[in-house]
Homo-oligomer: A and B are copies of this chain.
Amino acid sequence: MKLDSSASGVYSIAPTPFLEDGAIDWNSVDRMTDYYFEMGCDGFTILGVLGEAPKLDAEEALAMAARVIKRANGKPIIVGVSAPGFAAMRSLARKVMDLGAAGVMIAPGGGLKTDDQITAYFRNAMEAVGSDIPWVLQDYPQSTGVTMSNGVVKKIVTEHPSLAVLKHEDWPGLDKITTLRGWEKDGSMRKISILVGNNGLFFDFELDRGVDGANTGYAFPDMLVEMWKLSRAGKRDAQHDLFDNHLPLLRYDQQPGVGLAARKYMLVRRGVLSSPAMRRPAPAFSKESKAEVDYLLSRLSQRDPRIKLNPA
């Protein structure tokens, strides 16, 4: 199933599972694939920032995509294809689409500054990748160093009909959502899917502002799914209550570097991954940090008895 601009719900961002020796942990890859769909996700994305994509070589990246797409058995898998150059981007994009990916995700390349440089970048990217591949525009200036104004996002959306989803993780970013949704309403920008990232740190209000769902890697995708349902049902207070229960952990998890270590560890405690191992350069995950995550998980379990965890 190909991605299109009607995408809504929760698309998780998946890590790449490694064994302690740094090899890809294929058993965990399969378990993780099943897990996201069991938790209610509509699809998920591999080989993003969270997926430690730059730490895989070209063959590994392709093997990872092949395994996940096959296991997903027709359910939507999005593949991050951001690369320092367009030849590598094209190469990976064409290959994963042939394997059955639902679409690809592209972030602006480093060093882009002016509005014109950014829009030119995506014209070059589309010429390389091809206009037939549905794609997710990743708007994440904290990581890429590239700031896209509202007007630049609109221009990119307008120039590229194959852009299906905006992965919105600019920060602060709430008013950007309101502006873009306003432009869709008054007809000055075509309707796209807006899914939010940044670990869902503002998912409570982003839902209120009208986003279509989430495209982020919080270790409790089931909570993101429940948030989305509560929002659709108009139960605003319940939606915020649920969010507030998770916020201490979400906030911890959203730290750059150590957050990924924490998230892999949580997926171990949820029985998804067999190891929290990361490839180098890996952030430190100190025994103090581990104890803090355990404490937060314990507090969360007390608030929500449905949550079952492996022992620490």
Taking Cβ atoms with an 8 Å cutoff, the residues of A that contact B are 52-60, 83-88, 90-91, 110, 113-117, 120-121, 124, 127-128, 141, 147-149, 151-152, 171-172, 174-175, 178, 201-202, 204-205, 208-209, 240, 243-244, 247-248, 251, 255-259, 279-281, 284, 286, 288-289, 292, 299
The 8 A-B pairs of least Cβ separation, nearest first, read A54-B84, A54-B85, A114-B149, A113-B147, A172-B255, A55-B85, A58-B58, A57-B87
Among candidates B91, B149, B286, residue contacting A115 with C-beta atoms closer than 8 Å: B149
Contacts of A116 in B (CB 8 A): 149, 151
Secondary structure class of chain A's binding surface, majority of residues: helix
From A87, A91, A124, name the one whose CB has the most chain B CB atoms within 10 angstroms.
Answer: A87
Cα A56 to Cα B91 with chains together (Å): 10
Number of this chain's copies in the assembly equals 4
Q: A277 CB to closest chain B CB, in angstroms?
A: 14
Contacts of A115 in B (CB 8 A): 114-115, 149, 151
Which residue of chain B is the closest to A55 with respect to CB atoms?
B85
Known contacts A55-B85, A172-B257, A286-B178, A244 near B248 by CB under 8 Å = yes
Cα A196 to Cα B255 with chains together (Å): 16
Among candidates B59, B124, B151, B288, residue contacting A209 with C-beta atoms closer than 8 Å: B288
Known contacts A280-B127, A280-B128, A299-B240, A175 near B121 by CB under 8 Å = no
Known contacts A55-B86, A56-B87, A247-B247, A255 near B171 by CB under 8 Å = yes
From A88, A240, A259, name the one whose CB has the most chain B CB atoms within 10 angstroms.
Answer: A88
Given contacts A115-B151, A174-B288, 16 further A-B contacts (CB under 8 A): A54-B88, A56-B85, A57-B58, A57-B90, A85-B279, A114-B148, A114-B149, A114-B152, A172-B255, A172-B257, A175-B288, A175-B289, A209-B288, A244-B248, A247-B248, A247-B251
Contacts of A148 in B (CB 8 A): 114
